[in-house]
Structure formats: C-alpha cells, structure tokens
Chain A
C-alpha cells in the first residue's frame, strides 16, 4: 500500500537507535543501530552505517558495518564497502567494492528471519501521535 513514503538522512544527520520506515530510506549520514525499511534502502557515498540493514532492495555506496538483509536485491557499488553477513535473493557487486562476510542466497523469501526483525516496530510507533488532535491529546501524552 503506502510505499510512496521516503525518508532521507543527509550528510550531517546522525541517528543512533532503531529506525523503521514504511517506505524508502536514503542515508548519506551516520547511523548506529538498526535500519529497517519496507521499501528500498540506499546508503549514499558519504554514508557511514554501523547497523544491521534490512529492506526490499538495498544499495550501498558508502560504508556499512553490520548484517544486511535484502528481500530482493543487494547492490554493492564501486565505492561501497561492507563488512558483515548478508542474506539476499539477488546480489550484484561492482568491481572496486570492498566486502567481507558470509553470503547466503537462493531462498527468495527467508522463512527464518535473522536477528533484525520484530520488536523494532513498537519503539518507533510511540512518537507518531498527531499534533493537532484536540481534546484527546492528554491521553496520548501519558504514554
């Protein structure tokens, strides 16, 4: 459904923690923790990610340290560097890319999800209360 959503973290942005996005995610800043998107995840050239990354399609042109799961395809660009184990359906590595880790592929839809799953969603939901909800807002704040 709603996958028109797109979130971008610029070169000077920094995130420490878990991020769950219903849509696409673009990172050219610094991230520490966990990234999960239902759409595509793109780590730009200046991106520095020390986190597990999960998405439908994942493309890496920056530096990533952590496990990567792509339900569809992982592309490691020529300026990309990746240290970590990956589970992907399809894999493309450009000449010049740096990579170190375990690769497992072949199963399009992994039945047993790795450590990246569940539990992440609840944390991000809390913040999402609407600002303009008049009358009932006291209730929302309490949580």
Chain B
C-alpha cells in the first residue's frame, strides 16, 4: 500500500503536525474554483472541491463536491455531498447526498442515500448495511 499523495501537499498537515483533534475537528482541504488535482489523494481530513479533480480521492472525513466542480474520480469518504459533476464510483460509509444541482455518472454504494429533486444519476445504486457484501 504505497500512498503516493498527489502534488498538492500544500495544506496537508495530516502527518503529525500540531492539529486540533484527529477526529471530528479535523483538517480540511479546499480545492478552489481555479484549482485542479490530477492523481491520487489519500487524506485523513475532509475535502471540499470547487475546481477539477481527476483520479482518486480516498478521504477519511467528508467529501464535498460543490456546484460547478468537476470530478472524474473514484470517491471514497465517510460522507459525500455532491452538488457538482461527478463521473466515477462513489462510496460512502455513512451517507451520500446528491443535491439538486448534482450529477453522478457511476455506481453509488452508501449506508444512506438522499437524492434531491433535480439531481441526475446514472449507474447502479446500493444502500444499506455496509460491511456485508450481499
């Protein structure tokens, strides 16, 4: 398991810095409107994407894909909120929220799933107990 964190290690203090808590007040990574990430990111905190991502996001906290953002990536997080454009599989240990401006093209696996009217989704969806592969 070599974790080659992408070149965007600018804000990344997830190693051993002097942070607040490791649990719920964790780090937050914000990828702004003009920012882009190409590659694979493994991150213990939360991420908010307003720009463009291509690759893979494995996030310990929440993933927030804002309106206008474009993500062509595998997304794995505890909770995932999508209001932008996502192409790729989405997995959430807790919940996926697909907002009214959101779009997912890919399979979704989540313990809980909420989709707002106006959203668009194409792919296979499965909700419910997470660990059981059934």
Contact = CB atoms under 8 A, between A and B. Distances in A.
Identify whether the interface residues of B are mostly helix, strand, loop, or mixed: strand
B127 interface: yes
Interface in A94-124: 94-106
Interface of B: 95, 112-128
B95 A95 contact: yes
A92 interface: yes
A73 B120 CA distance: 12
Identify whether the interface residues of A are mostly helix, strand, loop, or mixed: strand
Given A103-B121, A106-B120, A92 B126 contact: no
Interface in A67-90: 73, 90
Contacts, number: 48
A72 to B, nearest CB: 11
A91 B115 contact: yes
A9 interface: no
A91 B121 contact: yes
Contact of B127 (A73, A90, A98, A105): A98
Nearest to A96: B112
Given A90-B118, A95-B95, A98-B128, A103 B113 contact: no
Contacts of A15: none
A97 B127 contact: yes
A111 to B, nearest CB: 17
A54 B56 CA distance: 38
Top 5 nearest A-B pairs (CB, nearest first) are: A93-B115, A95-B114, A92-B117, A100-B126, A102-B124
Interface string A45-78: 0000000000000000000000000000100000
A100 B125 contact: yes
B134 to A, nearest CB: 10
A74 B118 CA distance: 11
